Structure 1
Amino acid sequence: MNITVENYLKNTAPKLNYDVLIENQADGTVKAILLGLPDCQGLGNTETEAIEKVSQSLQTRLKTAKIVTLEIEAPKVENPWMKFAGMFKDDPQFDEMLGYIEEYRRELDAQMEEYYQQLDVENEAK
């Protein structure tokens, strides 16, 4: 498993977007909670004030922490059906079996064609 960590310097860090949950409280105040970091909250008399406070809370937290991007390469897993691929290639009856399958498929196709033609006749009669 390969793991890559990208670290951004403060002066080159891209802008980050966060989702914030805004809740009106029973006492008339507004609470803003940073989703994913529930301990980053702001409480204010207005939505704008609550958002400013949650932003300040996050900025204070980021003074002693940093955000990195973690990229994890998924392990390569073999398709479990591949172990069965070609297992009958040397079977002397394989071609005969394919013939039976093709014949059965043609029978089913003919039945379906007949069924759809019957539906068309019934729909035209209505």
Structure 2
Amino acid sequence: MNLTVKTYPNNSVPKLTYDVLIENQQDGEVSATVIGLPNFKGFGVTKEEAIEKLIQLLQERKPEIVTLEIERPQTEHPWMKFTGMHKYNPLFAEVLEYIEAERSQIDLQNETK
């Protein structure tokens, strides 16, 4: 399995964008949570304060997002092991003739309908 990790040099790091869930808590506080990252949560008296604390947390922890490209393992098609298995069978030509005759008969029946 090949694994490629795409990273960016520090001077060209793209901005990270996050979807944030804002919730009013029962104690009157507001929470701001990064969706999909429940450990990244900020609390405040107002929505703005909760978001600001969340931003501070993200800047302190310096999360990094990398893109992984994983190649699928090369596997043989499951039917390939049967390829040519009747190549030297003396009856193979006879079987092919039988199949061809049956197909011709079915084609004739379909034409007359």
Q: With structure 2 as the length reference, what TM-score do the two structures score?
A: 0.67
For 2:10 and 2:58, locate their aligned partners in 1 and report how far apart those are by CA, in whole Å: 15
Aligned-partner SS, 1:38? strand
More helix by share: 1
Residue 93 of structure 2: SS of its match in structure 1?
A: coil
Unaligned segments of structure 1, at least 5 residues = 115-126
Q: For residues 94 and 76 of structure 2, what CA distance do their matches in structure 1 show?
A: 29
Partner-residue secondary structure (3-state), 1:93: helix
User: Percent of aligned positions with the same letter in both sequences?
Assistant: 50
Superposition pairs of residues 1-126 of structure 1, within 5 angstroms: 1-62=1-62, 66-90=64-88, 91-99=92-100, 102=103, 106=107, 110=110
Q: How many residues align?
A: 108
Superposed CA RMSD: 3.0
Q: Is the 8 A contact 1:31 1:44 kept in 2?
A: yes
Cα distance in 2 for partners of 1:88, 1:35 equals 58
Q: Which runs of 5+ in 2 are unaligned?
A: none
Deviation at 1:97, TM superposition (A): 4.3
Name the SS for the 2:68 alignment partner.
Answer: strand
TM-score between the two structures when normalised by the length of structure 1: 0.62
Return structure 1 stretches of 4+ with deviation > 6 angstroms. Answer: none
